[in-house]
């Protein structure tokens, strides 16, 4: 089991003035011409106006410029398109977007990261990008719901209207239940690990999803889906840049112990995110799913390829292989080994997870 790793990432901002009123909370009459006690950290105050990280601040500016409105997509046209589809096609589409939402239901995760970034006095650009990703993830989650409702209004909350819909409903809820397990562990991770290390598994997901959603935009069977996936791919590419900057900016805290943790993080990220950007893995220790989930998923997947235009399994496998090589090249600069990923034919360091270590990858991309 990995021990807790708490490191000081940067020195907090202090006023350093004198005289200080040490017992200010106990006084009704504060003496003039004095300074308050120094703020105890972690704390979101004072405002940390550090604009020295120019590339991160430029990314923040770019993030604001690239915001888009999911409600401006032509949902009416997509709903009409789905009305003409067979039940199995509508169920498969609603199920797939419900599964996707498990990973896009991340506004809360990044909101927690915003708090941590402010409490630990990160620069203005880093805090700013985190705030824009909250907006990105909220938008991604809403678009999943709208797409699912266009296919099968009310799914998976409504009463099932067929055996097939009930099967899909059960398994969508199983995916969400696994997401809820991760959420509890994710919250606890902030008491164990530095913020930049928590998000290292994000590297793999972003690198793969950029390619997968880019492919989906080119293969899309409907104009609404083409625009949705194109915008999402652009968001994911920006998120990938952010994760690299975040890691690189905090390389001074990367000890040998943290390097080993990052290797585990990369493997954990692959196991968690492969469910949507690749396929369910029979080799994972994280996912707790009914024994026939794998077969059900593989039955639904080619239907969604035909109706929505998501890339083939072969394309997604190659996207992950390229992501591993890209992330591996980046992390090698810091002496971090890549994990073995036999599912993709990738050699590396063997990683074994204890049950209590499965909190290492946050449920976001």
211-261 pLDDT, tens digit per residue, is 999 999 999 999 999 999 999 999 999 999 999 999 999 998 889 988 988
Picking from 364, 334, 184, the residue whose alpha carbon sits closest to that of residue 260 is 334
pTM of the full predicted structure? 0.92
Find all residues with CB under 8 Å of 277, minimum gap 6, and list them.
Answer: 205, 208, 209, 212, 316, 319, 320, 365
Per-residue pLDDT, 354: 59
Per-residue pLDDT, 346: 87
Domains identified in the chain and CATH numbers: 24-357 (1.10.620.20)
Per-residue pLDDT, 184: 85
- Which residues of the chain fall below pLDDT 70? 1-8, 352-365
Per-residue pLDDT, 359: 46
Burial class from Cβ neighbours inside 10 Å (0-12, 13-18, 19+) for residue 288 reads exposed
């Amino acid at each position: 089991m990995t021990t807790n790793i708490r490191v000081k990432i940067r020195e907090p901002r202090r006023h350093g003035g004198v005289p200080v009123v040490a017992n200010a909370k106990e006084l009704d009459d504060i003496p003039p011409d004095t300074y308050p006690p120094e703020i105890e950290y972690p704390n979101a105050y004072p405002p940390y106006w550090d604009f020295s990280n120019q590339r991160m601040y430029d990314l923040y500016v770019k993030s604001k410029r690239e915001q888009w409105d999911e409600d401006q997509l032509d949902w009416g046209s997509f709903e009409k398109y789905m009305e003409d589809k067979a039940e199995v096609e509508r169920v498969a589409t609603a199920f797939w977007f419900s599964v996707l939402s498990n990973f896009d239901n991340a506004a809360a995760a990044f909101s927690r990261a915003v708090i941590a970034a402010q409490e630990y006095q990160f620069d203005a650009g880093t805090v700013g990008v985190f705030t824009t990703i909250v907006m990105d993830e909220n938008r991604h989650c809403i678009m999943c719901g709208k797409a699912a409702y266009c296919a099968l209004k009310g799914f998976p909350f409504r009463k099932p209207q067929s055996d097939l819909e009930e099967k899909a409903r059960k398994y969508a809820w199983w995916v969400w239940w696994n997401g809820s397990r991760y959420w509890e562990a994710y919250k606890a991770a902030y008491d164990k690990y530095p913020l930049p290390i928590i998000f290292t598994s994000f590297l793999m997901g972003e690198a793969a999803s950029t390619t997968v959603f880019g492919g989906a935009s080119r293969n899309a069977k409907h104009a609404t889906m083409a625009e949705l996936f194109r915008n999402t791919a652009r968001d994911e590419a920006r998120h990938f840049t952010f994760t690299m900057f975040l890691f690189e900016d905090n390389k001074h805290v990367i000890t040998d112990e943290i390097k080993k943790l990052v290797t585990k993080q990369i493997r954990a990220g692959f196991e968690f995110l492969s469910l949507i950007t690749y396929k369910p893995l029979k080799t994972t220790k994280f996912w707790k799913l009914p024994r026939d989930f794998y077969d059900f998923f593989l039955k639904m997947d080619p239907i969604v390829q035909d109706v929505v235009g998501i890339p083939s399994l072969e394309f997604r496998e190659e996207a992950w292989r390229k992501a591993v090589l890209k992330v591996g090249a980046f992390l090698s600069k810091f002496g971090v080994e890549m994990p073995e990923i036999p599912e993709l034919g990738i050699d590396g360091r063997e990683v074994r997870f204890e049950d209590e270590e499965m909190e290492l990858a946050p449920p976001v991309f």
